[in-house]
Amino acid sequence: MDMKEGLLIRWLVSVGDTVEKDDPIMEIETDKVTMESESPASGKVLALYYGEGETIPVLKILGYIGEEGEQVPGVPPDMEDAAVPEPEISNVLTQPVEPPAPEPVPEAVDYEYDVAIIGGGPAGYVGAIKAAQLGGKVVLFEKDTLGGTCLNRGCVPTKTYVKTAEYIEHIKRASERGIVNDPDTSVDMPKVVGYKNTVVSKLTGGVSYLLKSYDVDVISGEAAAKSAHEVECGDKVFTAAAMILCGGSKPGIPPIPGIDHKAALTSNEILDLGILPNNLVILGGGVIGCEIACAFSAFGTKVTIIEMLPNLVANMGKKVSGVIRKALEAQGVIVHTETRVTAIEDDGGKPVVSAGDTKIKTDVVLVATGRDADLTCLGALSGQIATERGKVIVNDKLETNIPGVYAAGDITGGMMLAHTAFKMAETAAENAVGGDAVCRLNVVPAGLYTIPEAAAVGLDEEDARAKAGDKLSVGYFPLSANGRSLASGEPEGFVQVMVDTEYGEILGVRIVGTDAVEMIAEPAALMAIEATADEVADTIIHAHPTYAEAFMEACADALGRCIHLPRR
């Protein structure tokens, strides 16, 4: 805020170029930082007033971006009365362009609703509330229970189980802190399920109340699009000016012989088991598989994970995968990687899993091999709406190839996360009622709720190295050197920061440890506003002792000046 002037190093655009909001348009240098500066809007570059190499006071108008043909001053507005030398670069588009003839205004159609939304999961209910906040009359269709997979069968139930597992872990380790107790534990599975259902009920009830408070009409029943402006539910057809498809996702079922065994369950059913299985084989070592393994292992089940890739939770990077595998194995989970399941057979009513050269007899098989978009809500628009590999294709405004029909959440593929669906739904809702919002998902955090937790945002080390090359510096701070972690008796884990040293840009962060998913919020926020590693290390003061200060230490390590690590 105390900068007075900056040097314009180079323009990254020319007059006449078309740019999108947040595209890099120039490089500038000040006494504090050298950085790229981004476009404040989308449009065409109409004027650039200053040449490369000029030192310019802050708060000057450097140029204009607008619609083609729009008239702008020939010189900077604050210098119109002064003699201004001709810049060396192109200046202004001086020839006006004849605007196109206006489109004929279609006759107004009297629709029942402004927006119809199919699906009441994280995308659907958030989209409905956002559209209502913006003044729209909204109808929401849900075939099951409000809240979708996240509240009813995914995020929230799983985290409830993992928290129960944490209690068990703390009880077992209490004697290390001088607490005299009986470390032997067992679980009452019906009570575990009942507690989970109570949590779910409170949250789904809260969603229902929110929708009611915004006068959203909620229709129970399976609905599907009949046309771009019609939704059919039961024997009734509802009309709306715009539509948002939020069909969500369903468990992906791999083509394995015997996968239809009665004891082969998906994540939809596993969390309603009233009896604790003695043995559980999990097909898939992704987020769902690892979280369920962590919970049921703590409950007393013998758990085996079978993953055909070389690493668990492969999307989080090798360092995270290595620590999570070690932690699960320490909890008694058997892990097979680079192993393919070829069949599930039956032996006296129990499934026998053939994996590689091994046959594993078990009580229950969890199929956790990913999720597929649920396209049933497309209805009559199936075949008209563009899809790719079973996912609906949308643009950055979340609109499909059919004008006025939007899609948000898991149905579009990508990062199938509730918070991603939230953001997509808000953008789709704003545009559905006449807005012009753009959805940017370049900085999205992801979490793994195991013991310990893991979290990620941005690029992992391998991808960051491919992008930055020899300009990449990796900062690493082990939680065994963090005061709060040691005091809590939880020293497992680390914070890893990938930094492009040219501008100090934080390319990615990986965290493993207690409260990692809470900790990732700070790096994600700072990356979104493009704070540099230098600013994190030198400017932001973290409370001590906290887990969060390990992020600051990792940033300092990337710059070669971490106080609480030995000299390299």
Does a structural domain hold residue 93?
no
Q: Looking at the structure, do residues 311 and 339 belong to the same domain, yes or no? A: yes
Q: Looking at the structure, do residues 349 and 396 belong to the same domain, yes or no? A: no
Q: Looking at the structure, do residues 67 and 216 belong to the same domain, yes or no? A: no
What is the SS3 assignment for 48?
Answer: strand
Rounded Cα distance, 509 and 464, in Å:
10
Query: What amino acid occupies position 186?
Result: S
Higher pLDDT among residues 22 and 152, named by residue:
152
Please tell me the predicted confidence (pLDDT) of residue 27: 85
Q: Looking at the structure, do residues 347 and 413 belong to the same domain, yes or no? A: no
The CA-atom distances, in angstroms, between 18 and each of 8, 93, 99 are 21, 13, 17
Mean pLDDT across the chain:
91
User: Cis bond leading into 310, ω under 30°?
Assistant: no
Rounded Cα distance, 468 and 351, in Å:
48
DSSP notation for 273-341: -SS--SEEEEE--SHHHHHHHHHHHHHT-EEEEE-SSSSTTGGG-HHHHHHHHHHHHHTT-EEE-S--E
pLDDT tens, position by position, 534-551: 999 999 999 999 999 999
User: Which of 79, 97, 126 is the endpoint of a domain?
Assistant: 79
Rounded Cα distance, 125 and 118, in Å:
10
- 301: domain CATH number is 3.50.50.60
Q: Looking at the structure, do residues 341 and 477 belong to the same domain, yes or no? A: no
Q: What is the mean pLDDT of residues 357-384?
A: 95
Whether 336 is catalytic is no
Catalytic hit among 261, 336, 544, 564: 544
pLDDT tens, position by position, 99-118: 556 666 556 678 999 999 99
Does a structural domain hold residue 193?
yes
Please tell me the predicted confidence (pLDDT) of residue 88: 43
**Residue 294: alpha-carbon gap to chain centroid:** 22
Please tell me the predicted confidence (pLDDT) of residue 109: 76
pLDDT tens, position by position, 9-63: 889 999 999 998 878 898 888 766 677 888 888 899 998 988 888 888 887 889 9
Does a structural domain hold residue 99?
no
CB-based contacts of 510: which residues, under 8 Å, 6+ apart?
316, 317, 319, 320, 454, 455, 456, 460, 461, 494, 495, 496
Measured on CA atoms in the order 519, 523, 526, 528, is the torsion positive or negative?
negative
**Nearest alpha carbon to residue 378 among 563, 244, 198, 557:** 244
DSSP notation for 149-183: HHHHTSHHHHHHHHHHHHHHHHHHHGGGGT-----
Please tell me the predicted confidence (pLDDT) of residue 24: 87
Model pTM score: 0.82
Rounded Cα distance, 36 and 28, in Å:
6
User: Which of 369, 390, 419 is the endpoint of a domain?
Assistant: 369
CA geometry: angle 476, 480, 481, nearest 5 deg: 70
Q: What is the mean pLDDT of residues 131-151?
A: 94
Please tell me the predicted confidence (pLDDT) of residue 93: 46
Does a structural domain hold residue 427?
yes
Please give the residue range of the domain that contains residue 465.
Answer: 452-558
What is the β-pairing status of strands 230-233 and 236-245?
antiparallel
pLDDT of residue 564 exceeding 50, the answer is yes
Please count the structural domains in the chain.
Answer: 4
Q: Looking at the structure, do residues 200 and 343 belong to the same domain, yes or no? A: no
User: Which of 79, 94, 125 is the endpoint of a domain?
Assistant: 79
Higher pLDDT among residues 49 and 244, named by residue:
244
Residue recorded with tokens 């703390």: 170
Q: Looking at the structure, do residues 337 and 484 belong to the same domain, yes or no? A: no
pLDDT tens, position by position, 418-427: 999 999 999 9
Rounded Cα distance, 243 and 377, in Å:
11
- Is residue 249 within 8 A of residue 410, CB to CB? The reply is yes
- 534: domain CATH number is 3.30.390.30
pLDDT of residue 96 exceeding 80, the answer is no
pLDDT tens, position by position, 168-218: 999 999 998 999 988 888 999 999 999 999 999 999 999 999 999 999 999
pLDDT tens, position by position, 303-316: 999 999 999 999 89
Q: Looking at the structure, do residues 20 and 142 belong to the same domain, yes or no? A: no
Q: Looking at the structure, do residues 25 and 125 belong to the same domain, yes or no? A: no
- 24: domain CATH number is 2.40.50.100
Q: What is the mean pLDDT of residues 119-137?
A: 96
pLDDT tens, position by position, 459-468: 999 999 999 9
Q: Looking at the structure, do residues 161 and 227 belong to the same domain, yes or no? A: yes
Confidence of residue 568 (pLDDT cuts 50, 70, 90): confident
Q: Looking at the structure, do residues 364 and 376 belong to the same domain, yes or no? A: no
Beta-ladder partners of 364: 280
Does a structural domain hold residue 26?
yes
Does a structural domain hold residue 100?
no
Q: Looking at the structure, do residues 143 and 222 belong to the same domain, yes or no? A: yes
Rounded Cα distance, 157 and 196, in Å:
6
Percent of the chain as helix, strand, coil, to the nearest 5: 30, 25, 45
Please tell me the predicted confidence (pLDDT) of residue 76: 76
CA geometry: angle 329, 332, 337, nearest 5 deg: 45
Does a structural domain hold residue 87?
no
pLDDT tens, position by position, 249-302: 999 999 999 999 999 999 989 999 999 999 999 999 999 999 999 999 999 999
pLDDT of residue 90 exceeding 60, the answer is no
What is the SS3 assignment for 139?
Answer: strand
Does a structural domain hold residue 565?
no
CA geometry: angle 140, 145, 147, nearest 5 deg: 75
CB burial string 477-509: b at 16+ within 10 A, e below: bbbebbebbeebebbbbbbbbbbbeebbbbbbb
